[in-house]
Amino acid sequence: AQKVTQAQTEISVVEKEDVTLDCVYETRDTTYYLFWYKQPPSGELVFLIRRNSFDEQNEISGRYSWNFQKSTSSFNFTITASQVVDSAVYFCALSSTGAGNMLTFGGGTRLMVKP
Amino acid sequence: KAGVTQTPRYLIKTRGQQVTLSCSPISGHRSVSWYQQTPGQGLQFLFEYFSETQRNKGNFPGRFSGRQFSNSRSEMNVSTLELGDSALYLCASSLGAHGKGYEQYFGPGTRLTVT
């Protein structure tokens, strides 16, 4: 069975602070894929990043960066110099070759960035 | 390219009725998945279709069904609605075949309220 845990249900920061969202996953498959999605108040899930289990390189995209560590089964997401527009619910998700395209989502972390 | 579209965006139904939701994937995408989002259960996978065939099904009762047409458009149907079916129903489309970890792009969702 697959499982994704986002222990932080809600985080509140002041604009320009850095913030890290944690994600821990469980799977028995050796080939799997990890994702982060953003859900603003409008409700639509916006794709942010995809990582496969063989690629442990960290990724940076503007103010966003991701740290994938197989040793700890974690795929954490950091927003540098947060902005009010970053306020949203962020979901970490997992799929594996054994489960087709099915995404198993974590419970989500609600990020509130205050001005 | 146009994104994933879902119709209708909002729906109010009475217990016992049935409902059909529609999803048009991104042009060229052949995989369509459906998810239910509720405050209590979070995001849960319903089913996935690829080339008109159901490839995977989540743990939902038989009242939930779906299909995919030759143009990749998909519909999901819920019969004998229950109050607990009130949720945001999200459709996601993906370019690739089953189990290859292609990123999935989500539509804006259909918010179903059962009274």
Banded pLDDT at B102 (limits 50, 70, 90): confident
Instruction: Give the mutation candidate from B106, B111, B112, B113 for the A interface (greatest A CB count, under 10 A).
Output: B106
pLDDT score of A98? 75
Q: Is the pLDDT of residue B97 over 70?
A: no
Task: Give the nearest partner residue to B98 out of A32, A42, A100, using CB atoms.
Answer: A100
Q: Is the pLDDT of residue A99 over 80?
A: no
DSSP assignment string, B46-110: EEEEETTEEEEE-S--TTEEEEE-TTS-EEEEE-S--GGG-EEEEEEEESS-TTS---EEE---E
The predicted-structure confidence for A78-89, as pLDDT tens digits, reads as follows 999 999 999 999
pLDDT score of B29? 92
User: Could you tell me which chain A residue has the CA closest to the CA of B43?
Assistant: A105
Pairing relationship of beta strands B42-50 and B31-38 according to DSSP bridges: antiparallel
User: Could you tell me which chain B residue has the CA closest to the CA of A43?
Assistant: B108
Banded pLDDT at A97 (limits 50, 70, 90): confident
The predicted-structure confidence for A30-85, as pLDDT tens digits, reads as follows 899 999 999 998 889 999 999 989 888 888 889 999 999 999 999 999 999 999 99
Q: A75 in contact with B at a CB cutoff of 8 Å?
A: no
